[in-house]
Structure 1
Amino acid sequence: MAKSKTPASTIPPAPRRPSLALAKNDPWLVPYEPVLQRRLERLRARLAEIEQYHGSLSQYATAHQQLGLNHDASRGGYVYREWAPGAEALALIGDFNGWDRRANPLQRLDFGVWEVFLPDSEYLDRLAPGSRYKVHVVTAAGGKDRLPAALRRAVQDEQTKDFAAQVWRPAAPFVWTDQKFKIAAAVPEPLIYEAHVGMATEEGRVGTYREFAENILPRIAAAGYNVVQLMAIMEHPYYGSFGYHVANLFAASSRFGTPEDLKFLVNEAHRRGIAVLLDIVHSHAVKNEAEGLADFDGSGNLYFHKGARGNHPGWDSKLFDYGRPEVQQFLLSNLRYWLEEFHFDGFRFDGVTSMLYHHHGEGVAFVGYDNYFGPAADEDAILYLQLATTLAHEFKKGSLLIAEDMSGLPGLCRPIKEGGVGFDYRLAMGIPDFWIKLLKHTPDEHWPLGDLWHTLTNRRVGEKTIAYAESHDQALVGDKTLAHWLFDAGIYTHMQAHDPDPGAARALALHKLIRLLTLAAGGEGYLTFIGNEFGHPEWVDFPREGNNWSYHFARRQWSLADNPDLKFQQLGNFDKALVHLARARHLLAAGPATLLKHDEENKVLVFERGGLVFVVNLHVEKSLTDYRFWVTEEGKYRVVLSSDNRQFGGFDRPDESFEYETYEHQLSLYVPSRVALVLAMS
């Protein structure tokens, strides 16, 4: 009898060989490679279209040079343009024409753009520096005075609190002296100081760009940080929003000074070898119509999605329509503007998780790859982010791009050509959440070291992360900083350097250990928030009606860090020593940490990274004599950092001058309780 053949349909197909590096490096991504390929093909098609009509992506990102009020020397006057296809009429109004809505109407051009020309012969003196203006927009619902979409400067009237655009024409262009500053040389690994210019003074008021440059940059440099990440720079109507409800994307906030003052800050940072990142907000925008872009032309769908999709359910704000070419161009132009005009060295992209998914990450647990590549993914937003990272890296070589993402999207921080989205780093958002949860719910003696180590080291291979114990999120009123959780009321009563209070001693020790563990094992970069490095005693609460418009909590008390009689200085000393050690040893550029010993009984973790050995005793009371553990290299070791050093508020228990020698690949140490020792080969 002849053998029957197996029907072809029942023969399992041969495993498909992945072509993208992202899928080659992660077998779990192989089933989703078609999605990655479609994203890549869509990006290539969009880039080809842009290059065909605009020459290059960088040239495409020049909407700000066309929209708004720009002086055209070739035409001998100012040209004002606005994109408002749904509007019935527009008129430029301001001090220059007595706010007369009939004096300077705009004419409709192609593609929904409107224009008016103001010749120098008639308007140069009238459009004087400092004069204010708006655009009157007439829609089917009536007329409203609005702020131009691409204005470069907005100012607030002190009496009426009304915002208006302002003509800004400095007598002479700012002179940059940072031509020799190179990001890659200055930042081999990012040690980031997250800061807010307005709250950087000790006085109860709004600080300025110049004050920050002159008073705070020296502190940042001395502390060893090589990147400053500036919040709240893009103009926002409500100071207390921390800068995250942006209204005017092209305007540096006038609360802190002039555009030249911000340039001075960036230039001074570069002089000190510090890169400057802008905390950029393209994930949403303020819903205010008087100050922002909402319903600008009356269509309900210009810069933002129409209807419910255009409203963020948790942030009370508007959501951009990333699929609309004009919106893409507007946002890409915004990136170029900040890189070009103010010499920023990159961006921390706020709210990336919200952009990536239609559900914005709200109430979703990302437990499988289907969460990343299913129907919840916002393909328009992903295309925009790929365009954004491509533009930034092309326009400014070496620019740093950091994504605030809690979903863990595979490939977010891998190159475009591999199938990634193109970011350089993602924030390790799970680490601060873990520390706060631990301090709130778990007694010290029950800290699970296995969970702790997993949280610190659980990140995608090949995708770099910025580790942090706390950022501005943990410092806001309604929550408490790590220092506040640890010291509690003692942060006001037991902070004298020689105060023997056991609760304060415990808090001081753990504050140091938390930072060391986070920096040493948590990522390829590190971040702290302004003041938290020395355990700033209070949360952040901006002036508002609920606190009687007080600035008391919207400032930084530098005098505490400068006082040698206080524990605050001891905490700052430790942070400085830790950061300088990381820089000197290029610790964060080394591979991931290797666990050498996990001792749950004695609450000890021993690990190795970048040629350094970290020994951390988290036991509440047990000091360990002749504590033995295995190391990879035999030889002589010495202590290069001890958290128990007296200048850090410790008790000088280990002898830091002693030289330890291995025996059969083991070291034997005295490790006091709640102490970390860092060793290097002699």
Structure 2
Amino acid sequence: MAGANQNTSENPSFYSRLTDFDIHLFRSGKHYQLHDKLGSHPVEHNGEAGCYFAVWAPSAKQVSVIGNFNYWDVHAHNLTPRWDSSGIWEGFIPGIGHGEVYKYSIETQEGFRLEKGDPFARYWEEPPKTASIIWDPSYKWKDSKWMKKRMKEREEPKPYAVYEVHMGSWKRKMEEGGRSLSYRELAEELVDYVKDMNYTHVEFMPVMEHPFYGSWGYQITGYFAPTSRYGNPQDFKFMIDALHQAGIGVILDWVPSHFPNDAHGLYKFDGTHLYEHSDPRKGFHPDWKSSIFNYGRFEVKSILISNAVFWLEEFHVDGLRVDAVASMLYLDYSRKAGEWIPNEFGGNENIEAIRFLKEMNETVYGKFPDVITIAEESTAWPGVSKPTFLGGLGFGQKWMMGWMHDTLEFFKHDPMYRRWHMNEITFSIMYAFTENFMLPLSHDEVVHGKGPLMARMPGDEWQRFANMRLMLGYMYAHPGTKLLFMGSEFAQTSEWRHDHGLEWHLLQFGFHSGVQNLVRDINKLYQTTKALYERPFEKEGFEWIDYSDTENSVIVFARYGMNPDKDAVLAVCNFTPQLHHEYRVGVSATGEWIEIFNSDDKKYSGTGLTNGSVETTSTQSHGKDQSVVLKLPPLAIILLKLKS
């Protein structure tokens, strides 16, 4: 390659952040700190301030840096290819630094010129502009108390009451043309709201830079930069800092499954299929019309795992929810016969992607034992949340898609006919302890014509809201951690739209504020009741009391903490509008049982049919030697706890 002999340590003008060991790790798929090496980095060299650039483009004929500083002249600042055949081009440009706009001009072997953004850019122009920006990411964190607590309590069971948020549409400034809130504004308004609602975590839909707003962030071009739509990287850190100081964890939606084919992005980055498979049967996603990463290429694996590490390290993020894992695991995902290539053993498993996911999880938990990875995996793939040394994929938790589907289907039924469908609401316990499940009522359930969650609820207005309260209460009583998409916490009545704010005006109406009050209260109850969170993934933390009363459409179960004799909660769900004034339930312990939650409480806009406290009697029921007699309100769930 031309100029290769110039890139040596004997050349006094040469500067590099890369060592031979870096190159070895990168080419072996084992470099997990590439964000410190590749991309643009403001530095001082030979007493002169400037910027170091490094980009991976092994098939390029020539690479240069272009920007306002050189009038976008493709010949003004050429980078030099390294002598080690790594495919990395690098160079130092004096006199430019923080805030400078740039792109890479890449000449292909065929002589075509491409203008590409920097895959490792820390900041980008606001779309529809597509240039990268040199950025100093320094920030003084104030969340040390949170970070120390996170590490200290890493092995302890903890509640996850997660609020899923799309930042651009959570709330809008209608007096200013309906613009979205900035990171700094969210650091006040969102933090205050989430704290008031007693959520433990916020999960943000993808915040990485993406050109098309309508993709909701799932078509990423800037994997190492928070979107500039709402502010700069320090603003984003400020928001995370504020959440941490308020005692709220942060989970980011992460998308290593595919990327868009925008001209300035990763697609055919150096004129060849560098990041993606060249064969469309492995490299093109038919559902999203996007490119699929080549997980078998070691350099790509290094880049993706570095990206996971980057968000956890640079932004103090507490977890990653990994999108579309099923599409990564199966070579025939959304493909017909003849549209996919079997693996070396003739199967449909994507062995390269499986290895990548395992290594990603091993690396993340090795470096950050106090964070969580969560898989959105929609099939019955075994061991998604089991350790890799036991043959699993190594995720901390997995979305319980089956529970979500069955629950929403069940609640669609008219209560009169639910007796014939009780298996839909009880079946989840058959497999509830095969994985570390998170129960999701996510954004996917309120888009694409599905309508809001309220649209599934049958009956008149009162019954619809009672059903909504019952479903949410049942979700929190069911084993597993919890996730609820924004707007559902106050029963939004319209389908979510990414270009509109939530329907906050609904809170002036009692039914909607009642649902919000319920979510606020049950979030707090969930965090302070050990039986509800200490053993969410263990069969010893759950007991069926009665799932056979299909005639009345009532189910009864118990939840237990680590000390089952002390930490026990009884849950009773009445899925019809029929009141039961004397419903006998067997219980595990003698004494006074206190009603700690009732979705029919008047403060939730219910009828107010509550129990207060009840004493056990020696009457046998449900295989127990003692029992209590309860009032079961219509379309409601009640939770009781033994008085200590």
**TM-score normalised by structure 1 residue count:** 0.81
Equivalence for 1:21: none
- For 1:323, which of 277, 289, 296 is the aligned residue? 296
Over aligned residue pairs, what C-alpha RMSD do you find?
A: 2.6
Q: Deviations over 1:151-188 (max 9, x none)?
A: 1111136xxx3311112237xx3110112213364971
Equivalence for 1:28: none
Equivalence for 1:593: 542
Whether 1:285 aligns to 2:259 is yes
Whether 1:632 aligns to 2:588 is yes
Q: In structure 1, how many angstroms separate the alpha carbons of the residues matched to 2:617 and 2:482?
A: 31
- For 2:362, which of 361, 379, 390 is the aligned residue? 390
**8 Å Cα contact 2:172-2:180 kept in structure 1:** no
In the TM superposition, residue 427 of structure 1 has moved relative to its aligned partner by 0.3
Q: In structure 2, how many angstroms separate the alpha carbons of the residues matched to 1:348 and 1:302?
A: 22
The one-letter amino acid paired with 1:613 is: L
**8 Å Cα contact 1:524-1:589 kept in structure 2:** no
**8 Å Cα contact 1:413-1:421 kept in structure 2:** yes
Q: In structure 1, how many angstroms separate the alpha carbons of the residues matched to 2:61 and 2:611?
A: 79
In the TM superposition, residue 74 of structure 1 has moved relative to its aligned partner by 5.5
**8 Å Cα contact 2:55-2:89 kept in structure 1:** yes
- For 1:166, which of 133, 149, 168 is the aligned residue? 133
Counterparts in 2 of 1:134-213, with a 5 A limit? 134-139=103-108, 140=110, 142-156=112-126, 161-169=128-136, 173-181=138-146, 182-183=149-150, 185=153, 188-203=158-173, 204-213=178-187
Counterparts in 2 of 1:352-431, with a 5 A limit? 352-360=325-333, 375-431=347-403
In the TM superposition, residue 301 of structure 1 has moved relative to its aligned partner by 4.0
Whether 1:606 aligns to 2:541 is no
> CA 1:539/1:282 → structure 2, altered by over 3 Å: closer, same or farther?
same
Identity of aligned pairs, percent? 28
- For 1:298, which of 263, 271, 274 is the aligned residue? 271
Equivalence for 1:481: 452
> CA 1:362/1:273 → structure 2, altered by over 3 Å: closer, same or farther?
farther
Equivalence for 1:507: 464
The one-letter amino acid paired with 2:410 is: L
Whether 1:674 aligns to 2:635 is yes
> CA 1:596/1:196 → structure 2, altered by over 3 Å: closer, same or farther?
same
**8 Å Cα contact 1:477-1:541 kept in structure 2:** no
**8 Å Cα contact 1:207-1:256 kept in structure 2:** yes
Counterparts in 2 of 1:252-271, with a 5 A limit? 252-271=226-245
In the TM superposition, residue 142 of structure 1 has moved relative to its aligned partner by 1.0
The one-letter amino acid paired with 2:506 is: L
The one-letter amino acid paired with 1:352 is: V
Q: In structure 1, how many angstroms separate the alpha carbons of the residues matched to 2:325 and 2:336?
A: 16
Q: Deviations over 1:515-536 (max 9, x none)?
A: 1112211x42100011211112
In the TM superposition, residue 112 of structure 1 has moved relative to its aligned partner by 4.3
In the TM superposition, residue 659 of structure 1 has moved relative to its aligned partner by 3.0
The one-letter amino acid paired with 2:55 is: E
Whether 1:578 aligns to 2:522 is yes
In the TM superposition, residue 388 of structure 1 has moved relative to its aligned partner by 0.7
Q: Secondary structure at the match of 2:460?
A: helix
In the TM superposition, residue 52 of structure 1 has moved relative to its aligned partner by 12
In the TM superposition, residue 51 of structure 1 has moved relative to its aligned partner by 11
In the TM superposition, residue 58 of structure 1 has moved relative to its aligned partner by 11
> CA 1:438/1:81 → structure 2, altered by over 3 Å: closer, same or farther?
same
In the TM superposition, residue 578 of structure 1 has moved relative to its aligned partner by 1.4
Q: In structure 2, how many angstroms separate the alpha carbons of the residues matched to 1:449 and 1:518?
A: 18
Q: Deviations over 1:352-406 (max 9, x none)?
A: 1111111126689xxxxx99x9711111111111111111112212111100001
Q: In structure 2, how many angstroms separate the alpha carbons of the residues matched to 1:467 and 1:508?
A: 21
Q: Secondary structure at the match of 2:243?
A: helix
Q: Secondary structure at the match of 2:596?
A: strand
In the TM superposition, residue 56 of structure 1 has moved relative to its aligned partner by 14
The one-letter amino acid paired with 1:274 is: I
**8 Å Cα contact 2:42-2:135 kept in structure 1:** no
**8 Å Cα contact 1:82-1:114 kept in structure 2:** yes
In the TM superposition, residue 506 of structure 1 has moved relative to its aligned partner by 0.3
Q: How many residues align?
A: 585
In the TM superposition, residue 274 of structure 1 has moved relative to its aligned partner by 1.1
**8 Å Cα contact 1:94-1:133 kept in structure 2:** yes
**8 Å Cα contact 2:99-2:134 kept in structure 1:** yes
In the TM superposition, residue 625 of structure 1 has moved relative to its aligned partner by 2.2
The one-letter amino acid paired with 1:227 is: H
Q: In structure 2, how many angstroms separate the alpha carbons of the residues matched to 1:258 and 1:339?
A: 18
Equivalence for 1:243: 217
**8 Å Cα contact 2:41-2:136 kept in structure 1:** no
Q: In structure 1, how many angstroms separate the alpha carbons of the residues matched to 2:27 and 2:559?
A: 43
In the TM superposition, residue 304 of structure 1 has moved relative to its aligned partner by 3.9
**8 Å Cα contact 2:257-2:293 kept in structure 1:** yes
Q: In structure 2, how many angstroms separate the alpha carbons of the residues matched to 1:580 and 1:194?
A: 17
Q: In structure 1, how many angstroms separate the alpha carbons of the residues matched to 2:484 and 2:425?
A: 20
Q: In structure 2, how many angstroms separate the alpha carbons of the residues matched to 1:437 and 1:484?
A: 12
Equivalence for 1:569: 513
The one-letter amino acid paired with 1:600 is: T
The one-letter amino acid paired with 1:667 is: V
Of 209-218 and 257-266, deviating more is: 209-218
**8 Å Cα contact 2:614-2:628 kept in structure 1:** no
In the TM superposition, residue 53 of structure 1 has moved relative to its aligned partner by 5.0
- For 2:615, which of 660, 672, 676 is the aligned residue? 660
In the TM superposition, residue 305 of structure 1 has moved relative to its aligned partner by 4.3
Whether 1:311 aligns to 2:272 is no
In the TM superposition, residue 54 of structure 1 has moved relative to its aligned partner by 4.4
The one-letter amino acid paired with 2:237 is: K
Counterparts in 2 of 1:29-68, with a 5 A limit? 54=25, 60-68=31-39
Q: Deviations over 1:471-510 (max 9, x none)?
A: 11012242212113337xxxxxxxxxxxxxx711101110
Structure 2 unaligned runs (5+)?
Answer: 1-20, 561-567, 620-625
The one-letter amino acid paired with 2:312 is: L
> CA 1:455/1:519 → structure 2, altered by over 3 Å: closer, same or farther?
farther
Whether 1:444 aligns to 2:415 is yes
> CA 1:304/1:148 → structure 2, altered by over 3 Å: closer, same or farther?
farther
Q: In structure 2, how many angstroms separate the alpha carbons of the residues matched to 1:573 and 1:567?
A: 10
Of 405-414 and 56-65, deviating more is: 56-65
Equivalence for 2:190: 216
Q: Secondary structure at the match of 2:102?
A: strand
Equivalence for 2:3: none
Q: In structure 1, how many angstroms separate the alpha carbons of the residues matched to 2:117 and 2:251?
A: 26
Equivalence for 2:502: 556
**8 Å Cα contact 2:282-2:292 kept in structure 1:** yes
